Every structure is written in structure tokens, then in C-alpha cells.
Chain A
Amino acid sequence: MARRKFATLKSFLNYIGVEGDRTIFTWVSASEGDRWAQVIKGATEKIKALGPAKKMVKTIG
């Protein structure tokens, strides 16, 4: 079940040191335009507050 995968993934990432706030999961129905906008706005704010992700990022070259 996707939801259980997300719950455990978020917790495990946080455990190894990747901020839990970076793993964002929610439901939005196709008919919920306003909510969709709200979710994206909220998620963007959360991520901006954390700054760029540097963990487990590969630099090539």
C-alpha cells in the first residue's frame, strides 16, 4: 500500500538524517483545484525553509 510505504519511507529518511519535512505526502482529488494550489504552496514554503537538498545528491564530472 502506497500510504504505508510513504509512512515508513519518511520515517526512515528522517532516521538516517534527511529531514522528514522533505518527504511530503498527501491526497488531492482532481476536483480540488484550491487545495492543490495550497498543497503546492505549502510544500514549496517548507522546502524553501530547509534550503537546497545536499544529502545523497550526486555530482557528476
Chain B
Amino acid sequence: MAHKNSQKRVKPEDRKKKVIGVVARGCTTRSLIIHLQERQYERDDVCIIGVPCDGYVDGKGLKVKIGGADIVEGTVDGGQLKMKTSDGDKTVALKDVLAECCLTCRFNNPIISDVMIGSPAPAMNPDAEYNDVKEFEAKSIEERWAYFIKEMEKCIRCNACRQACPSCYCPTCFVEQSQPQWVGIGEDKTDTQVFQFMRLYHMVGRCVDCGSCVSVCPMGVDLRKFLKKIDKDCFEMFSNRAGSSMEDMPPLGKYDEHHDKQDFIYNP
């Protein structure tokens, strides 16, 4: 799948435009499950053609790796990516240029489908999925804040992350919706921090780690560092992995009185 097309996400409004057949890899099926859980359409409204997935290439990372050369043509041969570029022929190992979300993907095989194509793809390396988050958690609070503001300072509020995200399907985002407008839409530093914080937080139980936001961001903001924390918390606190099962309810829509921890409650 060409990189550009692989980034085209399925959003609920696409279904209204009568897109009823969806070619879906693992993370796409997670998005579809989320849409279904959130009652955006009915299961019968979509025909899901499942494709096992070996991951996609992180285009920006690849470009850096090959010294900024333009890629004219590329083929995958075994574990190698062979390219004709403006700077001659180049070969890189596929595992060195896969997107981060793919390297540690837990659900590279479709979770739901009506028709499956091909044989199941080999497992990626999900055991490593929270390594980055654990490392970040171990830093001091001031270091963590410094990193957050440094990343948010790169953001130009182009909203590409929001456009690309399959879970960001609100016709009008909270940012543009609230009256008075609490969060400005310009490049004010605080507005940007608040917008990003809230968008990220809206992903509790909803981010499927598809990497679309990361891959479309023109400024290379490290969104995944924050999204993976949300995913980790959701799993550790509520044993939920976003969109991983049709039987699950959205984790913020329920409560488990026997297993939910109480330690966040203030008891003087």
C-alpha cells in the first residue's frame, strides 16, 4: 500500500458518504470497533476486508536515514527495502525504518472482518510498547514538564493530527465549539498546550496507536510519548486496550467496583 493511501483513515462521515467497504489492517479494525462502540454506525453498514499487516514505513525517518534523497521507486524484498533515489540506489533494513507504532504493535492482524485476505502476519514486538513511557515516568516532574512544553512549542496548530485521527471525528472540535472560547485556536503557547493536552486526553480508551497523527505532523511533535501513557494507564487501571474487542464497552463509560483502584481519591 502506498504510504500516502495507507494514511487515509476511516472516519464515521465516510460511511455516510456511502463508503461501505473498508480494507482494514489491525489498527483500522480497532478504529472501526471504536466507532461501533460509540454508535457512529451499525456493524451491518460496513463490509470489512481484513488484511494482515507487517507495518508501514515511517517516511520522515526513512528520508533522514537516506540523507534526504528523493525516492523514485521502491520495492520490498525479504526484510529489505530497495530504493532508486535521486542519490543512487539505496537499501535499508525494513525493521530499521518501520513506524514506532508498528514496531511494537499488538494487533497487526485484523480483530474483526467479513473477509480476510492472506495469511496471518507474524507478531511484532508488543512487549516493548511501554518502554518509552516507563523511561519518561522515571524522570523528574520538572524534566517531564520541560519536555512537554518543548514539544508543544514546535506545534503550529495546523490541526493535521486532529484531521488524520480516526477517533477525532467530532464535526466541531471542543476548541471551536465552546462559548466563550476558552482555548484559542492560534499559536499562543498556553492555548497550544491546553489544546494538545485536551486532545490527547480525549484519547483515553480511544487511541488505537495507528500513528496517523505522528506521521502527518509537519513539525515532528512527539505525540506518541503522551498517547502511549494514556494507553498504558487505561490498560493498567481498567484492563482495557482501545478497540481491541467488540464485547468491550468504552472504558470511561463504565466502572468496576471490585477492581478499580481507589488511590486517586482524596481522603483527609
Contacts and interface: CB of A to CB of B under 8 A. Distances in A.
Contact of A1 (B146, B233, B252, B266): B252
B251 interface: yes
B14 interface: no
Contact of A17 (B145, B237, B254, B260): B145
B217 to A, nearest CB: 17
Contacts of B136: 15
Interface in B223-268: 226, 229-230, 233-234, 237-238, 251-255, 260-261, 264-268
A32 B220 CA distance: 51
Give the dominant DSSP class at B's interface.
helix
A58 to B, nearest CB: 4
B254 A1 contact: yes
Interface in A1-27: 1, 3-19, 24-27
B191 interface: yes
A16 B141 CA distance: 8
Given A3-B260, A57-B190, A58-B190, A15 B201 contact: no
B194 interface: yes
Size range of the interface on A? 20 to 34
A24 B267 CA distance: 10
Contacts of A19: 141
Interface core residue of B143, B197, B226, B261 (most chain A CB under 10 Å): B197
Contacts, number: 92
A7 B261 contact: yes
A11 B144 contact: no
Given A15-B226, A27-B265, A39-B266, A4 B260 contact: yes
Nearest to A37: B268
Given A1-B252, A8-B233, A12-B230, A55 B268 contact: no
B148 interface: yes
A48 interface: no
B238 A17 contact: no
Interface core residue of B237, B253, B264 (most chain A CB under 10 Å): B264
A7 B144 contact: no
Contacts of A24: 266
Closest 6 CB pairs of A and B: A17-B145, A42-B268, A58-B190, A17-B144, A26-B266, A1-B255
7 contacts: A1-B254, A12-B200, A12-B204, A16-B197, A18-B145, A26-B265, A56-B190
Interface of B: 136-137, 141-148, 188, 190-191, 193-194, 197, 200-201, 204, 226, 229-230, 233-234, 237-238, 251-255, 260-261, 264-268
